[in-house]
Amino acid sequence: MLLVATGFSITLGYHRLFSHITFRAKLPLRLFTLVFGAAAFENSVLMWASEHRRHHKHVDHDEDPYDITKGFFHAHIGWLLFKLQPQPPFDNVADLKRDPLVMWQHRHIHLLAVMVSFVLPTLAGFAWGGWVGALGGFLIGGVAKVVVLQHGTFLINSASHTIGRQPYSARCSARDSFLMALFTCGEGYHNYHHEFQHDYRNGVKPWQWDPTKWLIWI
Ligand SMILES: [Zn+2]
Ligand SMILES: [Zn+2]
């Protein structure tokens, strides 16, 4: 449950709603995706969107935070492990800075992340099966969930710029892949996404596996 709630909070919330403004949402949905998105330990939506907008603008170039031309490992996780450059200013998210809910999440991101990602599944495990349940909740609902979510997200920056076809444009390295879409709630149609970043769909054909677009449509 927590994996699904957090996964969609990243794809539907962090990515398609806040970073690209592909649709508008009322307060309950925005609050939900901010609270559960925090559990992925991918920092606040303000920082995430700022880096992601920079990725789209400068894709395959030096200012792209996860530039694939620096290698698969760098694009996947190296850019986070060896952050040598200082954090660039949040100069491309003025719209998000005006959103009090976004700024509230930004101020409390670390506390929110720990509470939702680790404390919640540990308590749920304890209620269900005592101390053994708590340990299981922490390890599976907490630690394993974060590993799966983070590598799912990182695959978009690495594999989706390496594996697949380029039906829409060869202007940049982004590629479409059904396999990647399977692992990422539909984000694997990345060639289309780089060409049409303001579309709420990534898999634009009706049969393409993009559960995030179906959720938004609903
Ligand atoms: Zn994007
Ligand atoms: Zn990309």
3-state per-residue secondary structure call for the chain: CHHHHHHHHHHHHHHHHHHCCCCCCCHHHHHHHHHHHHCCCCCCHHHHHHHHHHHHHCCCCCCCCCCHHHCHHHHHHHHHHCCCCCCCCCCCCHHHHCCHHHHHHHHCHHHHHHHHHHHHHHHHHHHHHHHHHHHHHHHHHHHHHHHHHHHHHHHHHCHHHCCCECCCCCCCCCCECHHHHHHCCCCCEHHHHHHCCCCCCCCCCCCCCCHHHHHHHC
At residue 200, does pLDDT exceed 90? yes
Q: What separation in Å is there between the alpha carbon of 56 and the centre of ligand 1?
A: 7
Q: Per residue in 54-69, pLDDT tens?
A: 999 999 998 888 999 9
In the chain, where are the structural domains located? Answer: 2-217
Q: What separation in Å is there between the alpha carbon of 106 and the centre of ligand 2?
A: 24
Q: Rounded to the nearest 5 degrees, what angle is found at the Cα of 143, between the Cα atoms of 132 and 130?
A: 15
Q: What separation in Å is there between the alpha carbon of 161 and the centre of ligand 2?
A: 6
At residue 126, does pLDDT exceed 90? yes
The pLDDT value given to residue 173: 94
Q: Per residue in 69-84, pLDDT tens?
A: 999 999 999 888 887 7
Q: What separation in Å is there between the alpha carbon of 178 and the centre of ligand 2?
A: 16
pTM, 2 dp? 0.93
At residue 36, does pLDDT exceed 90? yes
At residue 87, does pLDDT exceed 90? no
Q: What separation in Å is there between the alpha carbon of 173 and the centre of ligand 2?
A: 8
Mean pLDDT of 35-53: 95
Mean pLDDT of 90-107: 95
At residue 112, does pLDDT exceed 90? yes
Q: Are 181 and 187 in contact (CB under 8 A)?
A: yes
CB atoms within 10 A of CB 28: 8
Non-local CB neighbours of 39 within 8 Å, separated by 6+ positions = 2, 5, 6, 9, 112, 113, 116, 117, 120, 145, 146, 149
Ion ligand 2 residues within 5 Å by Cβ: 174
The pLDDT value given to residue 37: 97
Q: Per residue in 140-165, pLDDT tens?
A: 999 999 999 999 999 999 999 999 99
Question: 176 has which bridge partners?
Answer: 165, 189
At residue 88, does pLDDT exceed 80? no
The pLDDT value given to residue 90: 87
User: What tokens were used for 172?
Assistant: 């940049």
Q: What separation in Å is there between the alpha carbon of 15 and the centre of ligand 2?
A: 11
The CA–CA distances, whole Å, from 105 to 31, 66, 99 equal 9, 24, 10
At residue 35, does pLDDT exceed 80? yes
Non-local CB neighbours of 53 within 8 Å, separated by 6+ positions = 19, 92, 93
d(CA 99, CA 110): 19
The pLDDT value given to residue 81: 86
Q: What separation in Å is there between the alpha carbon of 165 and the centre of ligand 1?
A: 18
d(CA 218, CA 208): 16
Q: Per residue in 180-197, pLDDT tens?
A: 999 999 999 999 999 999
**Percent of the chain whose predicted confidence (pLDDT) is above 70:** 99
Counting ligands in written order, the one closest to the CA of 60 is 2
Counting ligands in written order, the one closest to the CA of 188 is 2
Q: Are 191 and 170 in contact (CB under 8 A)?
A: no
